[in-house]
Structure 1
Amino acid sequence: MADTNRAALSGIAYDIAKKVDKNRDPEAEAKAVAWMTEVLGKAPPAGTYEDSLKNGAYLCELINAIAPNSVKKIHQKGQAFTVMQNIEAFQKALVAYGVPAEDLFQTVDLWEKRNIPAVTKTIYALSRTAEKQGWSGPKLQLDQHLVKDF
Protein backbone atom coordinates (compact mmCIF):
# COMPACT_ATOMS: atom_id res chain seq x y z
CA MET A 1 0.00 0.00 0.00
CA ALA A 2 2.77 2.47 0.85
CA ASP A 3 5.44 3.61 -1.55
CA THR A 4 8.40 5.35 0.05
CA ASN A 5 8.79 7.66 -2.98
CA ARG A 6 5.36 9.24 -2.49
CA ALA A 7 3.68 11.29 0.19
CA ALA A 8 1.67 9.29 2.70
CA LEU A 9 -1.88 8.60 1.62
CA SER A 10 -4.70 10.22 3.52
CA GLY A 11 -8.45 10.57 3.34
CA ILE A 12 -10.26 8.72 0.59
CA ALA A 13 -7.00 7.70 -1.13
CA TYR A 14 -5.94 5.94 2.06
CA ASP A 15 -9.32 4.23 2.40
CA ILE A 16 -9.18 2.98 -1.20
CA ALA A 17 -5.61 1.71 -0.83
CA LYS A 18 -6.59 -0.10 2.37
CA LYS A 19 -9.54 -1.75 0.63
CA VAL A 20 -7.34 -2.85 -2.29
CA ASP A 21 -4.81 -4.35 0.13
CA LYS A 22 -7.60 -6.30 1.83
CA ASN A 23 -8.43 -7.87 -1.54
CA ARG A 24 -4.97 -9.37 -1.82
CA ASP A 25 -5.14 -13.12 -1.77
CA PRO A 26 -1.83 -14.79 -0.87
CA GLU A 27 -3.12 -18.19 -1.99
CA ALA A 28 -4.16 -16.88 -5.42
CA GLU A 29 -0.80 -15.10 -5.74
CA ALA A 30 1.07 -18.29 -4.79
CA LYS A 31 -0.88 -20.27 -7.39
CA ALA A 32 -0.08 -17.61 -10.00
CA VAL A 33 3.64 -17.82 -9.15
CA ALA A 34 3.56 -21.63 -9.29
CA TRP A 35 1.86 -21.50 -12.70
CA MET A 36 4.31 -18.94 -14.12
CA THR A 37 7.21 -21.00 -12.77
CA GLU A 38 5.84 -24.12 -14.43
CA VAL A 39 5.27 -22.33 -17.74
CA LEU A 40 8.74 -20.74 -17.80
CA GLY A 41 10.69 -23.48 -16.05
CA LYS A 42 12.14 -20.92 -13.67
CA ALA A 43 10.94 -18.99 -10.66
CA PRO A 44 10.47 -15.23 -10.75
CA PRO A 45 13.30 -13.08 -9.42
CA ALA A 46 13.73 -13.14 -5.66
CA GLY A 47 11.60 -10.81 -3.62
CA THR A 48 8.00 -10.24 -2.75
CA TYR A 49 5.33 -11.13 -5.30
CA GLU A 50 4.95 -7.55 -6.49
CA ASP A 51 8.67 -6.76 -6.43
CA SER A 52 9.55 -9.86 -8.45
CA LEU A 53 7.15 -8.78 -11.21
CA LYS A 54 7.70 -5.02 -10.98
CA ASN A 55 10.06 -4.51 -13.92
CA GLY A 56 7.81 -6.53 -16.23
CA ALA A 57 10.62 -8.67 -17.68
CA TYR A 58 9.31 -11.92 -16.16
CA LEU A 59 5.81 -11.12 -17.41
CA CYS A 60 7.15 -10.49 -20.92
CA GLU A 61 8.95 -13.83 -20.80
CA LEU A 62 5.66 -15.41 -19.72
CA ILE A 63 3.66 -14.17 -22.70
CA ASN A 64 6.55 -15.08 -25.02
CA ALA A 65 6.47 -18.64 -23.66
CA ILE A 66 2.76 -18.88 -24.44
CA ALA A 67 2.75 -16.86 -27.66
CA PRO A 68 6.32 -16.74 -29.01
CA ASN A 69 7.73 -13.39 -30.11
CA SER A 70 4.83 -11.43 -28.62
CA VAL A 71 7.31 -9.04 -26.99
CA LYS A 72 10.31 -8.39 -29.19
CA LYS A 73 12.55 -6.51 -26.75
CA ILE A 74 12.67 -7.13 -23.02
CA HIS A 75 14.62 -4.71 -20.84
CA GLN A 76 16.23 -6.52 -17.92
CA LYS A 77 17.61 -3.35 -16.32
CA GLY A 78 17.48 0.36 -16.83
CA GLN A 79 15.80 3.53 -15.75
CA ALA A 80 12.21 3.44 -14.55
CA PHE A 81 10.86 4.54 -17.92
CA THR A 82 12.79 1.82 -19.73
CA VAL A 83 11.60 -1.06 -17.59
CA MET A 84 8.05 0.33 -17.43
CA GLN A 85 8.06 -0.24 -21.18
CA ASN A 86 8.17 -3.96 -20.36
CA ILE A 87 4.86 -3.68 -18.53
CA GLU A 88 3.30 -1.77 -21.41
CA ALA A 89 4.67 -4.28 -23.94
CA PHE A 90 3.23 -7.13 -21.85
CA GLN A 91 -0.17 -5.45 -21.78
CA LYS A 92 -0.17 -4.83 -25.54
CA ALA A 93 0.86 -8.43 -26.17
CA LEU A 94 -2.00 -9.67 -24.00
CA VAL A 95 -4.54 -7.63 -25.96
CA ALA A 96 -3.08 -8.91 -29.24
CA TYR A 97 -3.32 -12.46 -27.87
CA GLY A 98 -6.97 -12.00 -26.99
CA VAL A 99 -7.04 -11.22 -23.28
CA PRO A 100 -10.00 -8.88 -22.71
CA ALA A 101 -8.90 -5.30 -22.05
CA GLU A 102 -11.08 -5.15 -18.93
CA ASP A 103 -8.94 -7.92 -17.41
CA LEU A 104 -5.71 -5.92 -17.69
CA PHE A 105 -4.09 -4.09 -14.82
CA GLN A 106 -2.82 -0.57 -15.33
CA THR A 107 0.92 0.03 -15.39
CA VAL A 108 0.81 1.97 -12.11
CA ASP A 109 -1.04 -0.92 -10.45
CA LEU A 110 2.19 -2.89 -10.58
CA TRP A 111 4.89 -0.25 -10.86
CA GLU A 112 3.62 1.80 -7.91
CA LYS A 113 2.06 -1.22 -6.17
CA ARG A 114 -1.35 0.46 -6.19
CA ASN A 115 -3.48 -2.56 -7.07
CA ILE A 116 -1.66 -5.88 -6.88
CA PRO A 117 -4.92 -7.88 -6.95
CA ALA A 118 -5.49 -6.47 -10.45
CA VAL A 119 -2.09 -7.87 -11.49
CA THR A 120 -3.10 -11.30 -10.19
CA LYS A 121 -6.43 -11.05 -12.03
CA THR A 122 -4.54 -10.34 -15.27
CA ILE A 123 -2.33 -13.40 -14.83
CA TYR A 124 -5.41 -15.58 -14.33
CA ALA A 125 -7.03 -13.97 -17.40
CA LEU A 126 -3.95 -14.84 -19.46
CA SER A 127 -4.20 -18.46 -18.38
CA ARG A 128 -7.90 -18.63 -19.26
CA THR A 129 -7.28 -17.04 -22.66
CA ALA A 130 -4.38 -19.40 -23.38
CA GLU A 131 -6.61 -22.35 -22.60
CA LYS A 132 -9.34 -21.00 -24.92
CA GLN A 133 -6.71 -20.48 -27.63
CA GLY A 134 -5.81 -24.17 -27.40
CA TRP A 135 -2.50 -23.76 -25.59
CA SER A 136 -1.49 -27.17 -24.25
CA GLY A 137 0.76 -25.99 -21.43
CA PRO A 138 0.02 -25.86 -17.70
CA LYS A 139 -3.34 -24.54 -16.57
CA LEU A 140 -4.01 -22.11 -13.76
CA GLN A 141 -7.25 -22.86 -11.97
CA LEU A 142 -8.68 -20.57 -9.35
CA ASP A 143 -10.54 -22.42 -6.63
CA GLN A 144 -14.08 -21.11 -6.29
CA HIS A 145 -13.49 -20.20 -2.64
CA LEU A 146 -10.67 -17.90 -3.75
CA VAL A 147 -12.80 -15.84 -6.13
CA LYS A 148 -12.84 -12.23 -5.00
CA ASP A 149 -14.02 -9.03 -6.57
CA PHE A 150 -10.81 -7.29 -7.57
Structure 2
Amino acid sequence: MANRGPSYGLSREVQQKIERQYDPELEQLLVRWVLAQCGGDGGPAPATPAPGRDGFQQWLKDGTYGIAPTDIFQTVDLWEGKNLACVQRTLMNLGSLAAAKGDGLFRGDPNWFPK
Protein backbone atom coordinates (compact mmCIF):
# COMPACT_ATOMS: atom_id res chain seq x y z
CA MET A 1 0.00 0.00 0.00
CA ALA A 2 1.00 3.61 -0.36
CA ASN A 3 2.87 5.54 2.30
CA ARG A 4 0.05 6.92 4.35
CA GLY A 5 -0.86 6.75 8.00
CA PRO A 6 -3.77 4.86 9.48
CA SER A 7 -7.32 6.09 9.01
CA TYR A 8 -9.45 7.06 11.98
CA GLY A 9 -13.11 7.81 12.59
CA LEU A 10 -15.31 8.39 9.57
CA SER A 11 -12.40 8.02 7.11
CA ARG A 12 -11.67 4.57 8.50
CA GLU A 13 -15.34 3.55 8.31
CA VAL A 14 -15.57 4.69 4.69
CA GLN A 15 -12.35 2.87 3.75
CA GLN A 16 -13.57 -0.33 5.45
CA LYS A 17 -16.86 -0.12 3.54
CA ILE A 18 -14.96 0.27 0.26
CA GLU A 19 -12.68 -2.67 1.10
CA ARG A 20 -15.66 -4.92 1.86
CA GLN A 21 -16.85 -4.38 -1.73
CA TYR A 22 -13.70 -6.04 -3.12
CA ASP A 23 -14.55 -9.44 -4.58
CA PRO A 24 -11.78 -12.11 -4.55
CA GLU A 25 -13.75 -14.31 -6.97
CA LEU A 26 -14.09 -11.39 -9.39
CA GLU A 27 -10.35 -10.84 -9.01
CA GLN A 28 -9.65 -14.37 -10.27
CA LEU A 29 -12.08 -13.98 -13.18
CA LEU A 30 -10.45 -10.68 -14.19
CA VAL A 31 -6.94 -12.16 -13.93
CA ARG A 32 -7.96 -15.04 -16.21
CA TRP A 33 -9.53 -12.60 -18.66
CA VAL A 34 -6.52 -10.26 -18.78
CA LEU A 35 -4.21 -13.25 -19.29
CA ALA A 36 -6.48 -14.56 -22.08
CA GLN A 37 -6.46 -11.15 -23.77
CA CYS A 38 -2.71 -10.63 -23.50
CA GLY A 39 -1.42 -14.17 -24.02
CA GLY A 40 -1.38 -16.32 -27.11
CA ASP A 41 0.58 -13.95 -29.33
CA GLY A 42 3.65 -16.17 -29.39
CA GLY A 43 5.43 -14.13 -26.74
CA PRO A 44 6.02 -15.12 -23.15
CA ALA A 45 2.89 -15.51 -21.08
CA PRO A 46 2.32 -12.76 -18.51
CA ALA A 47 2.94 -13.79 -14.91
CA THR A 48 -0.03 -14.33 -12.63
CA PRO A 49 -0.47 -12.12 -9.57
CA ALA A 50 -0.25 -13.21 -5.97
CA PRO A 51 -3.81 -13.73 -4.70
CA GLY A 52 -5.49 -10.88 -2.84
CA ARG A 53 -5.96 -7.14 -3.09
CA ASP A 54 -2.27 -6.25 -2.78
CA GLY A 55 -1.13 -8.85 -5.33
CA PHE A 56 -3.85 -7.74 -7.78
CA GLN A 57 -2.89 -4.09 -7.31
CA GLN A 58 0.84 -4.71 -7.84
CA TRP A 59 0.17 -6.90 -10.88
CA LEU A 60 -1.91 -4.21 -12.58
CA LYS A 61 0.55 -1.46 -11.64
CA ASP A 62 3.44 -3.49 -13.00
CA GLY A 63 2.14 -3.39 -16.56
CA THR A 64 3.84 -6.61 -17.71
CA TYR A 65 0.51 -8.09 -18.60
CA GLY A 66 0.75 -6.58 -22.10
CA ILE A 67 -0.52 -3.02 -21.62
CA ALA A 68 1.62 -0.16 -22.92
CA PRO A 69 3.07 2.01 -20.12
CA THR A 70 0.99 4.93 -21.35
CA ASP A 71 -2.19 2.86 -20.90
CA ILE A 72 -1.60 1.66 -17.33
CA PHE A 73 -4.08 2.90 -14.74
CA GLN A 74 -3.09 6.26 -13.32
CA THR A 75 -5.84 6.67 -10.74
CA VAL A 76 -5.51 6.92 -6.99
CA ASP A 77 -7.85 3.92 -6.74
CA LEU A 78 -5.19 1.67 -8.22
CA TRP A 79 -1.90 3.33 -7.31
CA GLU A 80 -2.73 3.91 -3.67
CA GLY A 81 -5.06 0.95 -3.40
CA LYS A 82 -7.88 3.09 -2.04
CA ASN A 83 -10.67 1.51 -4.08
CA LEU A 84 -9.69 -1.62 -5.98
CA ALA A 85 -13.37 -2.55 -6.28
CA CYS A 86 -13.63 0.45 -8.64
CA VAL A 87 -10.70 -0.94 -10.65
CA GLN A 88 -12.56 -4.26 -10.86
CA ARG A 89 -15.69 -2.50 -12.13
CA THR A 90 -13.67 -0.64 -14.76
CA LEU A 91 -12.15 -3.90 -16.02
CA MET A 92 -15.59 -5.52 -16.07
CA ASN A 93 -16.89 -2.63 -18.18
CA LEU A 94 -13.92 -2.95 -20.51
CA GLY A 95 -14.59 -6.67 -20.82
CA SER A 96 -18.24 -6.03 -21.61
CA LEU A 97 -17.30 -3.59 -24.37
CA ALA A 98 -14.72 -5.98 -25.80
CA ALA A 99 -17.14 -8.92 -25.78
CA ALA A 100 -19.94 -6.86 -27.36
CA LYS A 101 -17.69 -5.59 -30.14
CA GLY A 102 -18.06 -8.86 -32.04
CA ASP A 103 -14.89 -8.34 -34.10
CA GLY A 104 -13.57 -11.85 -33.45
CA LEU A 105 -10.63 -10.56 -31.41
CA PHE A 106 -12.14 -11.17 -27.97
CA ARG A 107 -10.65 -14.16 -26.13
CA GLY A 108 -12.22 -15.85 -23.15
CA ASP A 109 -15.79 -16.52 -22.12
CA PRO A 110 -18.05 -13.56 -23.01
CA ASN A 111 -20.48 -14.81 -20.36
CA TRP A 112 -18.04 -13.58 -17.69
CA PHE A 113 -19.14 -10.04 -18.47
CA PRO A 114 -22.55 -8.36 -18.18
CA LYS A 115 -24.32 -7.57 -21.44
TM-score by length of 1: 0.58
- Which residue number in structure 2 is paired with residue 119 of structure 1? 87
Amino acid at match of 1:21: E
**Coordinate RMSD, CA, aligned:** 2.5
**Pairwise CA distance, 1:43:** 3.4
Q: 2:19 is matched with which residue?
A: 21
Q: Offset of 1:44 from its aligned partner?
A: 4.3
Cα distance in 2 for partners of 1:115, 1:135 equals 32
Aligned residue identity for 2:37: V
Equivalent residues, number = 102
- Aligned partner of 2:58 among 48, 51, 55: 51
Report the Cα distance in structure 1 between the residues aligned to 2:46 and 2:66, rounded to whole angstroms: 14
Cα drift, residue 86 of structure 1: 3.3
Structure 1 unaligned residues grouped into runs of 5+: 62-70, 76-84, 89-106, 144-150
- Deviating 4+ runs (over 3 angstroms): 43-47
Question: Percent identity among equivalent residues?
Answer: 25
Contact 1:33 1:43 in 2 (8 A): no
Q: 1:40 to 1:60 in 2, by over 3 A?
A: closer
Equivalent residues in 2 for 1:62-101 (5 A)?
74=69, 86-88=72-74
Give 5+ residue unaligned stretches, structure 2.
40-44
